[in-house]
Chains A and B, each alone.
Chain A
Amino acid sequence: MPELNLAQSINQALHQAMKTDDRIVILGEDVGVNGGVFRITDGLQKAFGAERVIDTPLAELGIVGVSVGMAAYGLKPICEIQFDGFLPSVMDQVINHFGRLRQRSQGKHAAGLILRSPHGGMVHAPEHHSESPEAYFAHTPGIKVVIPSTPKDAKGLMLAAIQCPDPVVFFEPKRIYRSIKENVPDESYEVAIGKARVAREGKDATVISWGALVHTCLEAAQKLQGEGVDVEVIDLRTLSPIDIGAILTSVSKTGHAVIAQEAPKTCSLASEISALIHERALLKLQAPVRRVTGWDTRTPLFRLEKYYFPDAARIAAAVRETMSF
């Protein structure tokens, strides 16, 4: 079982699946010869040819629209949008087409495609390269949204997404593409879509997060351990549908919940999770749910990004506040 980082584990999943599943076609900007700007599709064009790993013209809406047609024909397109900041232009296909094709066509077609995109900030990237647009997608009916935070989950979630009959938006936390390594099983395996993971067990407070920020939450939990606060960290892994069971189990145990995300606060996934907890576990709560988020502003250029994205200290402070409510 080799040690892989997240970029390598996704690459391995794609490679293995393409060997046995000839429905899979990869398309996007720079995904072929260059292997993707993050090298996630590295070597795939060499292995499977330019017919299956397609360098497209620079046209996001085209990439996704073409993928919808391919999926209707029975293929399994896996398309890449190079950066989170360029997802807004594809929303017409997301909302008006692939999210609703199954019902609109009265069950004849389903757009079982996968839309991959990097996610999140803190890599000193240029403007529009540090965004967290998950809420726009999770808000849209008919599509599943996943985001792994470990190499092992990344491979398993990708393989599950390939088997999923629904369209899956697959976010990849770019901050930890290469910084986290672990042993990843060689064989093919799936991590179920819709299932959260307890990243750390604890009894005093629940911190819910996803993507790269899970690791920041674990740091915060470590800090709080020293102060005698035992934090449970839930890595959501799937953002639509939310694993409500896992959240309620944890919150019922701890009575305190903090949600941490990179995205702005208003109308976000954190808002939805907070509403769910208040609706279903109000009497188990010993304090209102707190949200630690990016501000309701535009992501600043990178000199200020450390003040924009939640860090371990800010997450720990929110836990302390709920504990002393």
Chain B
Amino acid sequence: MPLTKIADFKIERLEILGADGRCDEALVPVISKEKMLEIYRMLVLIRVFDEKAFKLQRQGRLGTYPQILGQEATQIVPPMCLEKKDWLIPTYRGQGSYFARGMPLVNSLLYWGGDDRGAKLPDGQNDMIFAIPVGSHLTHAVGVAMAAQYRKDSAVALTYLGDGASSKGDFYEAMNFAGVYKAPVIFFVENNQWAISVSRKTQTSAQTIAQKAIGCGLSGIQVDGNDVFAVYRAVQEAIARARRGDGASVIEAETYRLGDHTTADDSSRYRSKEEIDLWKDRDPIARFRVFLTAQNVLTEDADLEVRRAAEEKVRSAIDEYESVPEPNPLSMFELIYGEPTWNILEQRAEFERYWASGSSRRETLASAGEGRFP
């Protein structure tokens, strides 16, 4: 019996807008000028936010913060392809994606400032709170998609993961469920080349992360993640496929984490300045700006105005953050159960008595110890 080929696979890579701002006209997605400007404004704004949040952390006004510098296109563009009825299930490096869905900036500041109230999504927004344990949210996205399918809502779920997260068993399980049930879900892999100090090569010996889709019967594609148009087009197509009932997709977007893993990390321990410089030249915002300017969609004056407006919005978000009163300690005992159980009620009362009793309580409260954490 001869060997016969029974299946054949290929993985494509999509690039539309080059680092020099020139683009492949045949592939440019249809986007109105107004929408392009909206995308640009969001990109600029989230970069300003990221820079300011980083500074706040350095000044002791914010806790550990995960920068998104360099990943603005992958953060902002995919959620902008969703409809209101759809769901976003992001990661902890997700301030941009939440913002693009309409979450106020102040929420991200509150959350990374150690205040649980930051995790409250606006009413009517169909998204989930991100998970800190890497990859553990991916099956949730499939569940959301299967529930939408059951309800015949034609809503889709867009979920994010990193190159590191693609190593978790959860990713395989999620893709496999999505494949078996043709769930309307999009796995958007933000491959920023690093998982803290571990390089993309150490995560998998597969040539691409996109090809992991094949093993579960999903569509897989790699895109230039610093290319607004490539990201937009790939996400649009995946969403359309999901809505048609043609199943789930994996989009591997290649980008780069220009900052440290978080403000607690020092990436000079494990990567070179040359590598960072190489990726700085592939900046997603700069090339989009070149394109918009060349197309006369954006003038120099308008660009200055975009920046000024961004600075102002971010400043007012910071002002708001810093004027929010301290959280009430009694909130610790809320929302543990639908109705509090006896032990919660008893412990809450114990805490209340104790808190009220000690006038020196505030001074005697332990201060935070020394620690490093990513």
A contact residues vs B (CB 8 Å cutoff)? 29-30, 32-35, 37-39, 55-59, 61-62, 82-83, 85-86, 88-89, 122-129, 174-179, 212, 216, 265-266, 295-298, 300-309, 311-314, 317
Contact A33 B365 (CB under 8 A): no
- Contact A125-B347, Cβ < 8 Å, known A30-B198, A58-B195: no
Look across to chain A and name the residue whose beta carbon is closest to the beta carbon of B112: A126
Q: Is the CB of B167 within 8 A of A59?
A: yes
Contact B168 A59 (CB under 8 A): yes
Give chain B's interface residue range (CB within 8 Å of chain A).
35 or more
A85: chain B residues at CB < 8 Å are 132-133
Known: A38-B372, A307-B365, A313-B364. 10 other contacts (CB 8 A): A30-B196, A30-B197, A30-B374, A126-B373, A127-B132, A178-B371, A303-B116, A306-B366, A313-B360, A317-B354
Contact between B203 and A33 (Cβ–Cβ < 8 Å)? Answer: no
Question: Which residues of the other chain, B, contact A307 by a CB distance below 8 angstroms?
Answer: 329, 332, 351, 355, 365
Q: Is the CB of A179 within 8 A of B343?
A: no
Q: Are B269 and A302 in contact (CB under 8 A)?
A: no
Residue in A34, A86, A314 whose beta carbon sits within 8 Å of that of B270 in the complex: A34
Docked-complex contact A33 and B368, CB < 8 angstroms: no
Name the one of A37, A179, A295, A312 contacting B364, with C-beta atoms under 8 angstroms. A312
In the complex, which residues of chain A have a beta carbon less than 8 angstroms from the beta carbon of B8? none
Quick one: given A57-B202, A85-B132, are A124 and B332 in contact (CB under 8 Å)? no
Rounded to whole angstroms, the CA-CA distance of A57 and B114 in the bound complex is: 29
Whether the pair B366, A312 counts as a contact (CB closer than 8 A) is: yes
> A30: shortest Cβ distance to chain B, in Å?
5
A89 to chain B, nearest CB (A): 7
Bound CA–CA A311/B365 (angstroms): 6
Which residues of the other chain, B, contact A176 by a CB distance below 8 angstroms? Answer: 369
Selected contact of A297 from candidates B333, B372, B374, CB within 8 Å: B333
CA distance A59 to B63 in the complex (A): 26
A-B CB contact pairs (8 Å), 7 listed:
A34-B197, A58-B134, A124-B114, A126-B132, A177-B370, A303-B115, A309-B366
- Residues of chain B contacted by A57 (CB below 8 angstroms): 164, 167, 198, 202-204
- Please state if A301 and B354 are interface contacts (CB–CB under 8 Å): no
In the bound complex, how far is the Cα of B278 from the Cα of A268, in angstroms?
52
Cβ contact of B329, chosen from A39, A83, A304, A311, cutoff 8 A = A304
Contacts of B344 in A (CB 8 A): 295-297
Given A58-B165, A59-B168, A86-B133: A175 in contact with B371 (beta carbons within 8 A): yes
Contact partner of A34 (CB less than 8 A), chosen from B132, B269, B358, is B269
Q: B residues bordering A, Cβ < 8 Å? A: 63-64, 92, 111-116, 132-136, 164-165, 167-169, 195-198, 202-204, 264-265, 269-270, 326-327, 329, 331-333, 336, 343-344, 347-348, 351, 354-355, 358, 360-361, 364-374
Q: Which of A35, A122, A313 contacts B369 (CB 8 A)?
A: A122
Give bound CA distance, A34 to B374, whole Å.
12
Contacts of A266 in B (CB 8 A): 343
Instruction: Tell whether, in the assembled complex, residue B373 and residue A302 are in contact, meaning their CB atoms are under 8 Å apart.
Output: no
Chain A residue nearest to B326 (CB atoms) is: A303
Contacts of B116 on A, CB cut-off 8 Å?
Answer: 300-301, 303-304
| Distance between Cα atoms of A153 and B21 in the complex (Å) | 60
Docked pose: A126 CA to B111 CA in angstroms: 9
> 5 closest A-B pairs (Cβ-Cβ)?
A123-B371, A34-B197, A175-B369, A302-B114, A57-B167
CB neighbours of B331 from chain A (8 A): 300, 304
CB pair B132–A128 under 8 Å, yes or no, is: yes
Which residues does chain A contribute within 8 Å of B134, judged by CB atoms?
A: 58, 86
Min C-beta distance of B367 to chain A, whole Å: 8
The distance from the CB of B229 to the nearest CB of chain A, in whole angstroms, is: 30
Q: Which residue of B lies closest to A120 (CB)?
A: B369
Q: In chain A, what residue has the closest Cβ to B129?
A: A127
Across the two chains, which residue of chain B brings its CB closest to A177?
Answer: B371
CB closest residue in chain A, given B373:
A125
Do A58 and B167 touch across chains, with their CB atoms under 8 A apart? yes
Evaluate whether A55 and B202 lie within 8 angstroms (CB atoms) in the complex, with A301-B116, A303-B113 already known. yes
A88 CB contacts on chain B under 8 angstroms: 133
CB-nearest residue of chain A to B374: A37
A178 to B113, CA, bound (A): 24
